[in-house]
Chain A
Amino acid sequence: MWEYTEKVKELFLHPKNAGEIENPDAVGEVGSIVCGDALKLTLRIDRKTDRIIDAKFRTFGCASAIASSSALTELIKGKTVDEALRITNKDIADYLGSLPREKMHCSVMGMEALQAAIANYRGEKPRRAEEGKIVCECFGVTDEKIKRVIRENNLQTVEDVTNFTKAGGGCGSCIPEIEKILGEVRGERVAVKPEAPRRKLTNIQKIAMIQEVMEREIRPLLQADGGDVELVDVEGDKVTVSLRGMCTGCLMADVTVKNIEKKLKELVSEELFVEAA
């Protein structure tokens, strides 16, 4: 059972502003029934003052999705459109006391519905449609969304990215891609500080890291195509591998070995080179 705050329970059991405004000035729709949660936000906006006079929601989803939607409408009522745009998913979570980490994507959905509604009000194209390429096919999450949410919530792990955006929570095949994006965004932050000098690896550390990268990064990719690879030996900077399964005798075997080398150079040490046994 989830540990929901009293506020979440209250807004789930007795949601405020449930429903739909007729002839609304703005509509924001995000999510889908296939993904398991969806939110339709309708707003009444005073066009002279740009102030949100009324907000209503309809939500398909779990208790925290319903409570997050209700919280959003409470937060934005009375605000101008510009003020409302400053609301982040964190504000929604704070309004609710807190949300379980695994449910943070519900607050992100609220924020996105608001952004979509305001874009609709201003006659702009919705952000999602024009931005980025799809990373997570299962839940239709783009790289731009992942980057934005990582920055706004200072996310550190793939698990967090999944909790906040759902990306990677389905088949999991995009997890390497998410790791890459996470690395890039975090790299932006690191770049501000002077880069720490790279430590010289001991042999034991080097072999352990090579093994880990092989297991985590390389083998799953090859296995997905019916191939596999085995680490045979590490002597100095020479890494010997043996290709297995569909990789044996494959015309692309040389390319595969080169790609393994690239990955090891990137993640373990620039000095490494890879040979097939």
Chain B
Amino acid sequence: MQNAIIGGILASVACGVVGSYVVVKRIGYLAGGIAHSVLGGMGIAYYLGRPPIEGALVAALVFAVILGWVSLRMQQQEDTVIGALWAGGMAVGILFISQTPGYNVDLMSFLFGNILMISSDDLFWIAGLDVLILLIVFLFYKQFLAVSFDEEFARLRGIPVERFYLLFLVLVALTVVILIQIVGLILVIALLTLPAAVSGLYVRSLNLMMLLATLLGVAFTTGGLAISYQPDLPPGPTIILVAGAFYLLSLFITRFWKKA
């Protein structure tokens, strides 16, 4: 339980920071593609007897670069190609898992996560990825802001826009890998976008949006854990439902506010 709470807090850092960029840049679908295709890597790692997180990391990075290239070069068919890679990645994963001898893995825990089973090793992974993400965001804060706000202007100021777009997708990939440990890959997109989306309804600056999204992430994960604990519900879906309910409520409140 202690590991689960720490895991939730650590994951919220990445999802608050990177999720805010995903929301303002409106690339939820692309992030979803990265998240789901990661199952391919997890399946292969599992087949080879390696920890699934290693496979997830490799697959997330590879798919981030491929999908980024697709969205830059093939804008006409972008959504079709993302859809194909999304489903293809998952199919590869399921094939490898089915061919793995011995215990049949609990596919459900890949798909829907199991925050209660998080090990200390996992926590080190998550903390390490957090540090890496924050470091990159601090170093290139200006460029990320410029590229997500106004790409054309950023390009004219000499920013290598495409390189930063790919680097940004790498950050999304790292975050996805972290979040898969918490809620599994089906629900990643909700945890990546909902705290930031709620936060974006209330604040008018990207820094504050990231900070508030992180705090909301902590609230959603610990809140979801607490609610699921007593009736022994699966924590991943509970966390997502808490976040989703909060988002809808916030949407309603802010709309009502504007009208009043």
Judge: A and B partners, yes or no.
no
B: residues with CB less than 8 A from A are: none
A: residues with CB less than 8 A from B are: none
